[in-house]
């Protein structure tokens, strides 16, 4: 049997407390999360376009490789956010007969796409910077450029923290990935600003390409991290911290109704946790009673986890479950 945590209503049984979340409330909460996420992504796209315009203006006025590196990352950010807006829309679409599990795993494609674009930007920055260094460094109007860059950095820092907060609250990998990218962009801007100040104070122009190369290395690491997170998600990585939480909540839920369990497996869609667990019942218990207890465990677990979850239970007899299975089946538990 399977439970979606959007509508949670635990029947009252001996030894368990009643916990009820009306379906309408759950539906309203889900709609609010989706609305907040869409607003956040649109805001990110609008500010990203403005940041790109400001940084390109600064680059054209100064010819600075460091500012070019910052502008190149903004190009990537705008493209990635445009794809993320589409991904966020798709991930909230309901399941259909040909996509029965919905579209939430687009979260991982979106994060991977953004990571790949960041890596591409890092490569272009390195090539462009080295070429400009070899052909001679020409820098102008650094003061104006520095002011534009530091303003962009402050704005991006505020936006990045906002996106991370909304992403974590809504369990949205897309928003978290975008927030981390925006924060990386802000640190890039602050680094570029520091480099421009050093050039103006010392007159030593190589500070500019050196800062640009440092920026490229930094965003290369950021892009690689996003790519790795995307790969782990697509390969159904099971986070040990989440596993520890699931086991603790299962211990409590099963203990209260006198059940044992095993065969716990879980993965994430980038939004929900998909959890499977085998519940062990006395051989003589009626199927109807076992089903009621399984429902209690499923619905309590969905509530106690505090994160969107889809829980599937498999009912087995405690006394002969090993004998019934003709092939060995998974009986492991999270650490």
Query: pLDDT (tens digit, 0 to 9) for every residue of the chain, 335 residues total?
Result: 655 544 334 444 444 443 444 444 445 566 677 788 888 888 888 988 888 888 888 888 877 777 887 787 788 778 888 888 888 888 888 889 999 888 888 888 888 888 888 888 788 778 877 877 776 656 666 777 788 888 888 988 999 899 888 888 877 777 887 888 788 778 778 887 887 888 888 888 787 788 878 878 887 887 888 889 889 988 988 899 999 999 999 999 999 999 999 999 999 888 789 999 999 999 999 999 999 999 999 999 998 988 888 999 999 998 887 778 777 777 788 87
Delineate the domains of the chain, giving CATH numbers in brackets. Answer: 24-234 (1.20.1510.10), 239-324 (3.30.70.1350)
pLDDT at position 14 is 42
What is the spatial distance between Cα 317 and Cα 161, in angstroms, rounded to a whole number?
50
The reported pLDDT for the residue numbered 42 is 86
| CA–CA dist 126, 314 (Å, integer) | 54
215: closest CA among 184, 240, 244? 184
The pTM is what?
Answer: 0.70
Which stretches does DSSP call E strand in the chain?
A: 2-4, 8-9, 20-21, 260-268, 273-281, 309-317
> Is residue 22 within 8 Å of 315, Cβ to Cβ?
no
What was the pLDDT predicted at 87? 84
Phi, psi of 21 (to 5 degrees): -125, 110
């Amino acid at each position: 049997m399977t439970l979606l945590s959007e509508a949670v209503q635990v029947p009252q049984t001996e030894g368990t407390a009643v916990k009820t979340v009306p379906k309408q409330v759950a539906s309203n909460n889900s709609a609010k999360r989706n609305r907040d996420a869409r607003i956040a992504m649109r805001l990110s796209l609008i500010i990203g376009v403005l940041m790109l315009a400001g940084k390109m203006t600064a680059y054209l006025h100064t010819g600075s490789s460091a500012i070019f590196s910052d502008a190149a990352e903004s190009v990537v950010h705008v493209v990635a956010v445009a794809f993320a807006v589409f991904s966020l829309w798709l991930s909230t679409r309901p399941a259909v007969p040909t996509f029965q599990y919905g579209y939430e795993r687009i979260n991982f494609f979106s994060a991977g796409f953004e990571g790949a674009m960041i890596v591409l930007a890092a490569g272009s920055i390195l090539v462009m910077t080295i070429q400009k260094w070899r052909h001679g460094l020409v820098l102008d109007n650094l003061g104006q450029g520095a002011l534009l860059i530091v303003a962009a950095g402050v704005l991006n820092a505020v936006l990045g923290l906002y996106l991370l907060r909304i992403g974590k609250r809504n369990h949205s990998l897309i928003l978290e990935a975008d927030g981390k990218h925006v924060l990386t962009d802000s640190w890039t801007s602050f680094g570029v600003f520091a480099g421009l100040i050093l050039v103006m104070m010392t007159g030593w122009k190589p500070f500019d390409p050196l800062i640009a190369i440092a920026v490229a290395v930094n965003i290369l690491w950021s892009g690689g991290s996003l790519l790795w997170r995307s790969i782990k998600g697509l390969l159904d990585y099971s986070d040990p911290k989440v596993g520890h939480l699931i086991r603790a909540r299962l211990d409590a839920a099963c203990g209260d109704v006198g059940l044992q369990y095993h065969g716990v497996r879980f993965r994430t869609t980038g939004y929900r946790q998909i959890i499977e667990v085998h519940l062990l019942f006395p051989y003589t218990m009626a199927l109807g009673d076992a089903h009621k207890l399984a429902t209690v465990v499923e619905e309590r677990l969905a509530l106690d986890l505090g994160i969107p979850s889809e829980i599937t239970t498999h009912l087995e007899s405690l006394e002969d479950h090993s004998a019934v299975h003709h092939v060995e089946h998974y009986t492991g538990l999270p650490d």
